[in-house]
Amino acid sequence: MKEKIIELLNRADDYISGEEISKHLGVSRTAVWKVINHLREEGYEIESVTRKGYRLVSSPDILNEEELHYNLNTNVIGNKIISYDSVDSTNQQAKKLALEGAGEGTVVIAEEQTAGKGRRGKNWVSPPKTGIWMSIILRPDIMPENASMLTLVAGLAVCKAIREITSLEASIKWPNDIVVSGKKICGLLTEMNSEIDYVNFVVVGIGINVNIEEFPPELDKMATSLMIEGNQIYKRKRIINKTLEIFEVYYKKYLETEDLTNIIAEYNECCINIGRNVKVTSRSQNLKGIVKEVTRKGELIITDPQGEDIEITSGEVSI
C-alpha cells in the first residue's frame, strides 16, 4: 500500500484527498493517514490541508523501485528494478537472478554492499546511502568476444549522465573508470556467463561515489565523490535515471553493429587518455607512449616512442 500511495502522490499535480486515496486503494482513510505518517518518518515531506488533502512536497533520496520508476524514461533498461537495503554485491545478486531467469534490462540496486567487488579481486567500498551501487542484467544476442565493449558503452553513459546532472568535468579513463579532477569517481565491473559462441547473460556493475564525504587515507589520493568535487549533495535517483536512459540509447546503437561504430566519436571526446603520454601495464606487456584513440572495437591505440602504433585490449593506463 505504501508504494501505491507514493505513486498516487507522485502522480497528483496538486493535492489529492485522503478520500480519493482510500477509494482508489479500497482501504479506510485512517489506514491512509497511518501510511502518510509512516512516509513522513521516512523523510517524505507531505503537506496536508483541510478539505484539500495531501501534497507531496519532496521525497527522500531512497532507492526503491517506485521512486526510481516514477521518473524513468526507458523502454527496457530498468523495466524491472530490484532494490535491497543491504546486499553482499549487486553483481553477485544480479548473476543469481539472471540464472533464475531475470530478463533483459533488470536493474539490481542496493543502499549498501557488504562485499562490493572491484576488478581483479579487489574490494569496492560501498557505504550505505551515499553511493550508487547497481548492476544491469543484459541478454544481448552477440558473440562473447564482443561483450567487453559493454563496459565502454556503460562508461560513456555514466560519464554523460554525470556531466549532465552535475556539470562536473567527468571523463572516461579507459577502459573501466570515470574520473573527475584526475581521481576515480566511478568503477565498472562487467561479468559474463557464456558458452563458446553464445552469451547467456552479461551483468554490468556500476559503482558511483555520490555523497561520500571522505575516503580512508589509503584511497584519498585516488578516489573522490561527486559531493567532494561539486560541494553539494546530489540526488542519486536523478543520476541513476539519467544513466539508465542514456545507457539504453547507446546500448541500442551498440547492438546495431555489435561494436562501438555509432558511438566511438563521442567516446573519444569523453576519454581523458587521448593525446596523453601514458604508461600501460597489462598482462602481456608494459609500455609507454602517446594515446592516439580508442577504436570501434574498444582497443586503445598507443603510438610508442619509435612511432609504431600498438593495440592494447586490456590493462591499466596511467593518466
Find the binder of ligand BTN among 44, 54, 124, 251 (CB under 6 A): 124
The grid coordinates of residue 249 equal 540509447
Query: Cα 94–95–101 angle (5° rounding)?
Result: 90
Distance of closest approach, residue 158 Cβ to ligand BTN, in angstroms:
11
Residue 126 counted as an annotated binding residue: no
Report d(CA 225, CA 189) in Å as an integer: 18
List 49's β-bridge partners, or say none.
Answer: 53
Find the binder of ligand BTN among 59, 64, 83, 91 (CB under 6 A): 91
- 127 belongs to the binding site for ligand BTN (CB under 6 A): no
- 205 belongs to the binding site for ligand BTN (CB under 6 A): yes
- 243 belongs to the binding site for ligand BTN (CB under 6 A): no
Report d(CA 274, CA 108) in Å as an integer: 33
DSSP state of 3: H
Residue 184 counted as an annotated binding residue: yes
Query: In the complex with ligand BTN, which residue's Cβ is closer, 32 or 153?
Result: 153
Find the binder of ligand BTN among 39, 98, 107, 117 (CB under 6 A): 117
Query: In the complex with ligand BTN, which residue's Cβ is closer, 36 or 61?
Result: 61
User: What does the per-residue mask of binding to ligand BTN show for 170-189, with x meaning CB under 6 A?
Assistant: ------xx---------xxx
Distance of closest approach, residue 279 Cβ to ligand BTN, in angstroms:
18
Q: What is the DSSP string of 252-290?
A: HHHHHHTSSTTTHHHHHHHBTTTT-EEEEE-SS-EEEEE
The helix or strand, by DSSP H or E, that contains position 203, with its residue range, turns out to be strand 198-209
When CB distances to ligand BTN are compared, the closest residue is 187
232 to 131, 163, 168, 229: CA distances (angstroms): 14, 15, 12, 8
Report d(CA 81, CA 70) in Å as an integer: 12
Distance of closest approach, residue 229 Cβ to ligand BTN, in angstroms:
18
Residue 243 CB partners (closer than 8 Å, separation 6+): 132, 157, 158, 161, 206, 208
- 53 belongs to the binding site for ligand BTN (CB under 6 A): no
- 122 belongs to the binding site for ligand BTN (CB under 6 A): yes
Q: How many C-beta atoms surround the C-beta of residue 85 within 10 A?
A: 12
Q: What angle in degrees, to the nearest 10, is found between the helix axes of 29-42 and 18-25?
A: 110
Residue 138 CB partners (closer than 8 Å, separation 6+): 104, 105, 150, 201, 202, 203, 204, 251
Query: In the complex with ligand BTN, which residue's Cβ is closer, 16 or 134?
Result: 134
180 within 8 A of 163, measured Cβ to Cβ:
no
Query: In the complex with ligand BTN, which residue's Cβ is closer, 111 or 177?
Result: 177
- 133 belongs to the binding site for ligand BTN (CB under 6 A): yes
- 135 belongs to the binding site for ligand BTN (CB under 6 A): yes
Stretch that binds ligand BTN, among 77-85, 116-124, 223-231, 244-252 (CB under 6 A): 116-124
Find the binder of ligand BTN among 59, 64, 83, 89 (CB under 6 A): 89
The grid coordinates of residue 305 equal 616512442
Residue 113 counted as an annotated binding residue: yes
Distance of closest approach, residue 96 Cβ to ligand BTN, in angstroms:
13
Binding positions for ligand BTN, rule: CB under 6 A: 89-91, 113, 116-119, 122, 124, 126, 133-135, 176-177, 187-189, 205-207
Binding site, annotated residues: 89-91, 113, 184
